[in-house]
Amino acid sequence: MIWRRRHILSLADWEEEEYNTLIQTASSFSEVLLRHTKKVPALQGLVVTNMFFEPSTRTRSSFELASKRLSADILNFSPGTSSLAKGETILDTAKTYLAMGANIMVIRHKRAGVPRIIANEMDRLQSGVSILNAGDGMHEHPSQGLLDLFTICSELDSSYPRLELLQDKKIVIVGDILHSRVARSNIWSLTKAGAKVHLVGPPTLLPKWFEDIKNRCNKGQLFIHWNLEVALKKADFIMTLRLQKERMTDALLPSLREYHKYYGITHKHLYLCQPNVKILHPGPVNRGIEISSSLIDDPNFSLVQKQITNSIAIRMALLFLLGTFSEQ
């Protein structure tokens, strides 16, 4: 069990041993969540601050519940009722929570780089506070990438999930790659695991400069397509992505109907894949656009509900590891 990180800002530089440490820790917490008493005193006395400058349902709720399951004290930040409306800076807001005794700050912001800026300030102050990126602009969403990784590993071997299970598995990520911070985090984690990751989407949402990311990944692990049927051949897992319409500043799609026609996943596409193919979606889902309602609700193929359940265990693991590091 190896853990040396004070902050979790990106998955771009994670090593295999770190992923396995996290997966094993999350697996242990999954067992805790099956008990009648689901609470453990692992972070008792520590303060977790949820600083969400951007709307969120699943991520915020799962971090809050994970903190409660670990017996941490929780401070929730809401920008609409905070001193930001009076002109206070984000760094001053973070320092306010530091003065209140925060040990871990979970930060979500619409601008890329904000969690890193706060982490740098906390380090400059030698505060010992850990920063966990809960999604920053179009940069990354590490905890979502990690829960997707954990969900896939658990599907392959529920008794002993581990990174090596993904070696040479074909995983297809479909949709709005351009605006998806989830896709970026998944690219780093899945290619590090040895999976063959195939990105597919319309040219406007999968521009050629993704070749730069391809060159930074493990050699021969990332592939780029504009044709859905070509990408899906013999796929083991399919991950569909939400259209990030709130981040689209240009008319990148002719219509939602046309997008669904060429890139929406339905049962009819599964004949191209492996017989036991599974479907993931980080949510929220635009039903009938990225994926058909019948497929997302089909327990024979869909892992969406398992992703939501696993979000508690993986975020418990992240908070536990950061909390343990902060006490060293």
Q: Is 162 annotated as a binding residue?
A: no
Cα–Cα–Cα angle for 192, 195, 200, rounded to 5 degrees: 110
* Tokens found for residue 269: 């596409």
Q: Is 86 annotated as a binding residue?
A: yes
Give the whole-angstrom CA distance, residue 174 versus residue 176.
7
SS3 content of the chain, % helix, strand, coil (to 5): 45, 15, 40
Residue 150 contacts residue 311 (beta carbons within 8 Å): no
Q: Is 108 annotated as a binding residue?
A: yes
Residue 214 contacts residue 255 (beta carbons within 8 Å): no
Q: Is 144 annotated as a binding residue?
A: yes
Q: Is 216 annotated as a binding residue?
A: no
Residue 138 contacts residue 182 (beta carbons within 8 Å): no
The DSSP element (H or E) to which 122 belongs, if any, is: helix 114-124
Q: Is 284 annotated as a binding residue?
A: yes
Q: Is 60 annotated as a binding residue?
A: no
Q: Is 124 annotated as a binding residue?
A: no
Q: Is 58 annotated as a binding residue?
A: yes
Taking alpha carbons only, the member of 60, 56, 79 closest to residue 68 is: 60
At 239, phi and psi to the nearest 5? -115, 115
Q: Is 6 annotated as a binding residue?
A: no
* Tokens found for residue 68: 């409660």
Give the whole-angstrom CA distance, residue 160 versus residue 165.
10
- Whether cis (ω within 30° of 0) applies to the bond prior to 299 is no
Residue 71 contacts residue 41 (beta carbons within 8 Å): yes
The 3-state DSSP class for residue 55 equals coil
What burial class does residue 137 get, using C-beta atoms within 10 Å of its C-beta: 0-12 exposed, 13-18 middle, 19+ buried?
Answer: middle
Q: Which residues are annotated as a binding site?
A: 58-59, 86, 108, 141, 144, 181, 242, 283-284
Binding residues for carbamoyl phosphate: 58-59, 108, 141, 144, 283-284
List, as residue ranges, the binding site for L-aspartate.
Answer: 86, 181, 242
